[in-house]
Amino acid sequence: MEAKAVGKYIRISAQKARLVADVVRGMGVDQALTTLRFMPKKGAGIIKKVIESALANATQDDKADVDNLYVKKIIIDGGPSLKRISPRAQGRATGIIKRTSHITVVLDEN
C-alpha cells in the first residue's frame, strides 16, 4: 500500500532540498520525522510537512499499518523560477533568480 503527497511551487532551490531528502530517503517515517525536526536546514521543515501530508493520506486507508511505513521515494524536481532585477552601480542591473521546487514523497509498508 503506497501513500503519496506532492508539494508544488515550494520556495527553495532543488539543490538545497535534495541535501535534506538524501538523508531521510529509505528511513522509517517516525525516524525521518524525528531527524527532520532537529535538522538546522530550511528544507527540513518543508520536507517534514510533505511527509506528514503523505502520512495523513496513508491513514485514510483502513488497510494501512501506519507503524510499518517508510519513505520509499522522495523526489525533488525544479519548478519555475521567479526572475527579478537588482539595480547596480552606474545604471546597470543584474538578474536575481528565485528558484522553486516540486517535492514528491511516496510512503510504503515494509
**DSSP, residue by residue, 9-70:** EESS-HHHHHHHHHHHTT-BHHHHHHHHHT--SHHHHHHHHHHHHHHHHHHTSTT--GGGEE
Domain that holds residue 72: 3-109
pLDDT computed for residue 66 by the predictor = 82
CATH number reported for the structural domain that contains residue 101 in this entry? 3.90.470.10
pLDDT class for 91, splitting at 50, 70, 90? very high
Could you tell me the three cell numbers for 35? 531527524
pTM check: above 0.85: yes
What's the total number of domains in the chain? 1
Could you tell me the three cell numbers for 80? 519555475
Neighbours of 50 (CB within 10 A): 18
Using the predicted structure, report yes or no on whether residue 8 has a pLDDT greater than 80. Answer: yes
Nearest-angstrom CA–CA distance, 49 and 27:
16
pLDDT class for 94, splitting at 50, 70, 90? very high
* pLDDT, tens only, 53-87: 999 999 987 777 888 899 999 999 999 999 999 99
Phi, psi torsion values for 51, nearest 5 degrees:
-65, -40
- For cell 519548478, the residue is 79
Determine the average pLDDT of the residues in 4-11.
96
